[in-house]
């Protein structure tokens, strides 16, 4: 009996694997659409219900909940975490929330736009899509505005964010002016770079909710123009694209003019398209002819569009919102491994408007089996490393994963000149741009199905991932923690500087109240054991 069931199950899994694209288009996309509609409806209802409550009322209710937790006998206190369900978060891991005491930080309102100081104060559970709509109407955008609409202001503040403007603005955390945090004892504090809690200021990013609850955050915004002029530059040698990115991002020289936006998509070890973008107005017929509404549903997936410029350089004017969310519809190039025929013009025309399937929906329907499959047969990583090591990064990633395209966003990493500065160490002095307090690093994005898996050869995900992580530690880089880490706790503590974080855990009562960072972010699956299986 069990045998028959096993065989049926494995047949079903094989069938689903082989016809996954079809299943996704015919079932998942429409279901994801309805699902999204339902979630939005819920959110609206929630907003109406909370309508009469002011922000400070809502904060007080959180403080009360936390104080109630403190009043429990010690033996009954489970560690605290936010109640946001796992499937709502963009992180790929499934933290076992049922083992925690869940606090609802369900704050979804934009609070205050300050046009003099160029800042936006917002509650944490507002999505980047919502914030961008709000700001663009008024002529602004977030200084670091993520490409994925579903990311939230609070999630990014307590994790990390990086975009094609980060070679100017740095990581998302550099754009935070003020955190408003409810601590383990229920007190509310504001945390800025130079108030009495400045030590905490540097540890809240990359803390994943293990130091307190975020109830509001103030972010830097910038003035915008309606369009981005994008220049697509094809490059056909590794040395050349590495050098060009160093030059364009100002990694090597003080005072060079850098473009407003900078990105490279690497299509093979030697071939890449570098995109430099600048804010622009479209005020002539010539320019108007070059307008590309790149994010319309029937348009080619952006990285496919970009690929054409491998053969000849080009210039386009992309409306700002289309530019900001250019990678949203194909989730960079993740959608291709789900719907291999999805970029066919006919499919785009009919189903393009249903894309992308909501990450929330994909996660909601992720079973243990699918999760194990994604571990063993896919790679999904963003890694921050010094741009000067780009050649080695690409060589290593090619050797281990052999999947293209690769994504490169240059980014400033600052030395705040204050001793330990949170989980990220100050960059080594030899990497600093002369005369400044920052070095240029880059995000290397590796998403897709590894070459050996595609060719049905042997592939050991645990080996490949752990090698990549070792390389990352060796060059002084950091893995984004929304993706699965394969490190042991010791290796993790080597990659990140936990000195100040551990002090902050003690000083602000985080110990015994919240899980520690490694516990919070480690995959729910024993990935090292997974490597022993065949
Ligand atoms: C498809 C995809 C594409 C991506 N693309 C990019 C990219 O281009 N650039 C980039 O930088 N990153 C990218 N990311 C990563 C993304 O930045 C992270 O997932 C980030 O954490 C934002 O996700 P979120 O808003 O869902 O945060 P969450 O996962 O909800 O939150 C992050 C952490 O903070 C905690 N937290 C959240 N809110 C609070 C609160 N109010 N109080 C206390 N703790 C809290 C959560 O428990 C969690 O541990 C991508 C991720 C995916 C899945
Ligand atoms: C954010 O909003 C969603 C939708 O309303 C809700 O389900 C979720 O719990 C909220 N997140 C947090 C952090 O509570
Ligand atoms: C904003 O700017 C004003 C002066 O324009 C200043 O008084 C105020 O303190 C600033 N606020 C913040 C939060 O920086
Ligand atoms: C950095 O600049 C120096 C001096 O201008 C030059 O010799 C060197 O080749 C540059 N390095 C890179 C990687 O561009
Ligand atoms: C996969 O790699 C890991 C780590 O290098 C190793 O421990 C494990 O034995 C390997 N598994 C197989 C099946 O070869």
pLDDT in tens, 467-499: 999 999 999 999 999 999 999 999 999 999 999
**Residue located nearest, by CA, to atom 4 of ligand 2:** 43
Per-residue pLDDT, 51? 61
For residue 60, the SS3 value is: helix
Q: Separation of 436 CA from ligand 4 center, angstroms?
A: 16
**Residue located nearest, by CA, to atom 8 of ligand 2:** 84
Model confidence, pTM: 0.92
The burial class, CB within 10 Å (0-12 / 13-18 / 19+), for 273 is buried
Q: Please, how many CA atoms are within 13 Å of residue 221, restricted to the half-sphere of its CB?
A: 26
pLDDT band at 42 (very low <50, low <70, confident <90, very high): confident
**Residue located nearest, by CA, to atom 48 of ligand 1:** 208
Rounded distance between C-alpha atoms, residue 58 and residue 22, angstroms: 45
- In the chain, pLDDT over 90 holds for what percent of residues? 69
Per-residue pLDDT, 528? 79
pLDDT in tens, 301-337: 999 999 999 999 999 999 999 999 999 988 899 888 7
CB 448 within 8 A of CB 337: yes
Q: Separation of 532 CA from ligand 5 center, angstroms?
A: 5
Rounded distance between C-alpha atoms, residue 356 and residue 351, angstroms: 10
Q: Are strands 110-114 and 119-122 parallel, antiparallel or unpaired?
A: antiparallel
Q: Separation of 50 CA from ligand 2 center, angstroms?
A: 13
Per-residue pLDDT, 2? 60
Rounded distance between C-alpha atoms, residue 194 and residue 385, angstroms: 28
Indicate the top mutation candidate among 97, 179, 219, 482 to test ligand 1's pocket, ranked by most ligand atoms within 8 A of CB. 482
Other beta carbons less than 10 A from residue 218's beta carbon: 21
Q: Positive or negative, the Cα torsion across 382, 388, 390, 393?
A: negative
Closest CA to 454 of 522, 519, 404, 395: 404
Mean pLDDT throughout 278-301? 95
Distances (CA, A) of 166 to 124, 463, 476: 21, 31, 19
Spell out which residues line ligand 3, taking CB within 6 angstroms.
116-117
Per-residue pLDDT, 279? 98
pLDDT band at 48 (very low <50, low <70, confident <90, very high): confident
**Residue located nearest, by CA, to atom 4 of ligand 5:** 463
pLDDT band at 1 (very low <50, low <70, confident <90, very high): low
Instruction: State if residue 398 touches ligand 2 by the CB under 6 angstroms criterion.
Output: no
Tokens representing residue 413 in the block: 């990493």
Closest CA to 126 of 101, 102, 97, 105: 105
Q: Separation of 254 CA from ligand 4 center, angstroms?
A: 12
pLDDT in tens, 66-119: 999 999 999 999 999 998 887 777 787 778 888 899 998 878 899 999 999 999
**Residue located nearest, by CA, to atom 7 of ligand 4:** 252
Closest CA to 191 of 508, 527, 530: 508
**Residue located nearest, by CA, to atom 51 of ligand 1:** 90
Calculate the average pLDDT of the chain: 91
Rounded distance between C-alpha atoms, residue 365 and residue 329, angstroms: 19
**Residue located nearest, by CA, to atom 9 of ligand 5:** 532
For residue 85, which atom of ligand 2 is closest to its CA?
A: 9
Q: Are strands 379-386 and 478-479 parallel, antiparallel or unpaired?
A: antiparallel
| Closest-approaching ligand to the CA atom of 122 | 1
pLDDT at 529 over 60: yes
Instruction: Give every CB contact of residue 522 below 8 A, 6+ residues apart in sequence.
Output: 93, 485
Distance of CA 492 to the CA centre of its chain: 19
Instruction: Give every CB contact of residue 260 below 8 A, 6+ residues apart in sequence.
Output: 165, 168, 228, 277, 278, 279
Mean pLDDT throughout 192-215? 96
CB 496 within 8 A of CB 480: no
């Amino acid at each position: 009996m069990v045998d028959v069931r096993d065989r049926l199950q494995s047949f079903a899994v094989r069938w689903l694997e082989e016809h996954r694209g079809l299943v996704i288009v015919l079932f998942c996309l429409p279901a994801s659409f309805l699902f999204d509609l339902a979630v939005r409806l819920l959110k609206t209802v929630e907003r109406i219900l909370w309508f009469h409550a002011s922000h400070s009322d809502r904060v007080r209710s959180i403080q009360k909940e936390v104080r109630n937790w403190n009043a429990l006998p010690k033996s009954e206190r489970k560690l605290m975490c936010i109640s946001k369900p796992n499937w709502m978060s963009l992180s790929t891991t499934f933290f076992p929330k049922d083992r925690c005491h869940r606090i609802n930080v369900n704050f979804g309102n934009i609070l205050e736009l300050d046009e003099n100081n160029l800042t936006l104060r917002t509650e944490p559970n507002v999505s980047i899509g919502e914030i961008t709509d709000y700001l663009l109407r008024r002529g602004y955008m977030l200084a670091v505005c993520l490409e994925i609409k579903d990311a939230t202001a609070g999630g990014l503040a307590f994790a990390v964010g990086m975009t094609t403007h980060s070679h100017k603005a740095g990581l998302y955390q550099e754009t935070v002016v003020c955190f408003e945090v409810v601590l383990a004892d229920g007190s509310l504090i504001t945390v800025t770079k130079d108030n009495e809690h400045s030590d905490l200021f540097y540890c809240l990013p990359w803390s994943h909710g293990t130091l307190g609850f975020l109830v509001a955050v103030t972010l830097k915004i910038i003035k915008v123009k309606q369009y981005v002029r994008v220049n697509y530059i094809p490059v056909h040698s590794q040395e050349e694209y590495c050098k060009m990115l160093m030059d364009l991002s100002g990694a090597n020289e003080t005072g060079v003019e850098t473009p407003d936006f900078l990105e490279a998509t690497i299509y093979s070890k030697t071939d890449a398209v570098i995109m430099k973008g600048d804010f622009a107005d479209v005020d002539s017929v010539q320019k108007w002819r070059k307008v590309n509404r790149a994010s319309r549903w029937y348009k080619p997936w952006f990285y496919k569009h970009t690929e054409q410029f491998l053969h000849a350089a080009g210039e386009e004017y992309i409306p700002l919102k289309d530019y900001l969310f250019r990678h949203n519809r194909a989730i960079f190039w993740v959608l291709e491994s789900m719907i291999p025929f999805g970029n066919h013009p006919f499919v785009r025309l009919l189903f393009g408007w249903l894309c992308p399937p909501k990450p929330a929906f994909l996660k909601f329907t992720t079973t243990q089996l699918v999760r194990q499959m994604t571990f063993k047969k896919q790679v999904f990583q963003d890694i921050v490393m010094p741009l000067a090591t780009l050649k080695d990064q690409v060589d290593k990633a090619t050797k281990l994963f052999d999947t293209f395209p690769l994504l490169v966003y240059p980014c400033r990493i600052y030395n705040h000149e204050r001793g330990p500065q949170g989980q990220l160490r100050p960059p080594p002095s030899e990497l600093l741009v002369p005369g400044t307090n920052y070095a240029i690093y880059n995000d290397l994005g590796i998403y897709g199905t590894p070459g050996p898996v595609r060719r049905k050869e042997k592939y050991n995900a645990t080996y490949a991932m752990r090698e990549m992580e070792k390389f990352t530690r060796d060059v002084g880089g950091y893995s984004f923690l929304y993706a699965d880490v394969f490190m042991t706790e010791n290796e993790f503590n080597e990659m990140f500087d936990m000195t100040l974080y551990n002090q902050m855990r003690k000083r602000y009562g985080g110990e015994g109240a919240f899980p520690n960072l490694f516990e919070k972010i480690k995959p729910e699956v024993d990935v090292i054991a997974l490597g022993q299986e065949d």
